[in-house]
């Protein structure tokens, strides 16, 4: 009989300890109770990334760049003209584009994009034109796919590709140059 009481006592102690441990765990997880906490706008999906084309050892490479705000072709061009940041510079990326002191005017109509550089800008060499054309072609495709209407007069279409982009670069007093998305590298990206 004594053994029976000991076993019951042990079971009771174990049960008591288990209940106490469970109650402690459930009663205080270390998370204070709060009301509703506002934490910004709701997630809406993956934000598009700009692909900016820079140069490494005479090769055009696309670099993905996330930038908050509205995605548009003009912003992609502005970011491209700023050149590679210090991190990309350490990876050997450079630019053939000139540094600009005035804004660039960008107008898009379907697959045609016109870029007007500030008066006095040196004419672009072939590599600089390719950097600009490929950055615009990629940005135009993302804008076109993302909005359906494309914004800025663009029209989205199911058969639209970056290679269909035609870019005309005008420098007042110096002339025009034209580029096409057909010459852009496929999916080459900088590591």
18 within some domain: no
**C-beta atoms surrounding 116 within 10 Å:** 17
Q: Supply the pLDDT for residue 3.
A: 54
Render 40-75 in DSSP notation, one character per residue: SSPP-SPPP-EEEEEEETTEEEEEEE--SS---HHH
Report the candidate in 69, 84, 71 with the shortest Cα–Cα distance to residue 131. Answer: 84
138-149 pLDDT per residue, tens: 998 888 876 644
Q: What is the tally of structural domains in the chain?
A: 1
Mean of per-residue pLDDT scores for the chain: 77
31-84 pLDDT per residue, tens: 455 445 455 554 555 667 889 999 999 899 999 987 777 788 999 999 999 999
Q: Domain range holding 169? A: 50-183
């Amino acid at each position: 009989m004594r053994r029976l009481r000991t076993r019951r006592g042990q079971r009771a102690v174990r049960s008591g300890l288990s209940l106490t441990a469970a109650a402690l765990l459930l009663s205080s997880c270390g998370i204070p109770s709060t009301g509703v906490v506002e934490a910004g706008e709701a997630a809406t999906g993956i934000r598009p990334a700009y692909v900016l084309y820079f140069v490494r050892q005479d090769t055009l490479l696309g670099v993905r760049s996330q930038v908050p705000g509205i995605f548009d072709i003009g912003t992609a061009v502005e970011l491209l003209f700023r050149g590679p940041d210090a991190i990309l510079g350490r990876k050997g990326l450079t630019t053939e584009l000139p540094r600009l002191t005035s804004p660039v005017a960008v107008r898009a109509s379907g697959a045609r994009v016109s870029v007007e550089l500030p008066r006095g800008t040196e004419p672009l060499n072939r590599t600089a034109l390719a950097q600009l054309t490929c950055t615009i072609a990629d940005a135009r495709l993302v804008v076109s796919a993302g909005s359906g209407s494309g914004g800025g007069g663009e029209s989205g279409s199911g058969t639209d590709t970056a290679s269909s982009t035609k870019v005309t670069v005008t420098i007042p007093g110096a002339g025009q140059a034209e580029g096409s998305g057909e010459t852009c590298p496929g999916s080459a990206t900088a590591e």
